Amino acid sequence: AKVVVPLTDDAAYAVREYDDYDKRTQGLFSSVNDGIFTSLKTLDSVPPTSPKVVVVFADGDENASSTKIQSIFEHAVKNNVSIYCVGFGYAKDEELQGLSLYTGGKYYRAYSKSDLKAIFLDIYNS
């Protein structure tokens, strides 16, 4: 897993960087745990007084990570990071639900694109 867009408060920059990213490099495997852990490590540089949140969109089908779920739990709790998970598709949501519950976040199930606006709003207001 790698960071495609570094932490920023410049929305236009974030959109440009994401749009410029070559998405064709994606494969058939899902390194969900590695991606979450990389996100957590990125937040290590954020001051402890700032709120820290990771939002995960996944089907929960973890099949390629070297990071164990326990490492994610421990790092998130130790660094006061809430993880909000949005499951979609044929989600295997048990681990996503557990991550959200254990870290003080919340789990959502998105059945369609139209569900996302309410989900984003709820996360923003949390």
pLDDT digits (tens, 9 = 90+) for 37-65: 999 999 999 998 999 999 999 887 888 89
Contacts of residue 92, defined as CB under 8 A and 6 or more positions apart, other chains included, come to: 59, 60, 61, 62
CATH number for the domain harbouring residue 117? 3.40.50.410
3-state secondary structure of 10: coil
Identify the DSSP state of 2. Answer: -
CB contact at 8 A, 23 and 58: no
Does residue 77 form part of some domain? yes
Does residue 119 form part of some domain? yes
- Number of structural domains (the chain) is 1
Q: Given this model, what pLDDT does residue 105 score?
A: 98
Does residue 2 form part of some domain? no
Q: Given this model, what pLDDT does residue 28 score?
A: 66
Identify the DSSP state of 56. Answer: E
pTM, 2 dp? 0.87
CB contact at 8 A, 102 and 91: no
Domain residue limits at 114: 30-125
Q: Is the pLDDT of residue 6 over 90?
A: no
- 71-109 pLDDT, tens per residue? 999 999 999 999 999 998 876 788 899 999 999 999 999
CB contact at 8 A, 92 and 61: yes
Does residue 90 form part of some domain? yes
Does residue 10 form part of some domain? no
Q: Given this model, what pLDDT does residue 62 score?
A: 82
Q: Given this model, what pLDDT does residue 64 score?
A: 82
Of 121, 124, 54, 117, the C-alpha closest to 85 is 54
- 14-42 pLDDT, tens per residue? 999 888 887 666 666 778 999 999 999 99
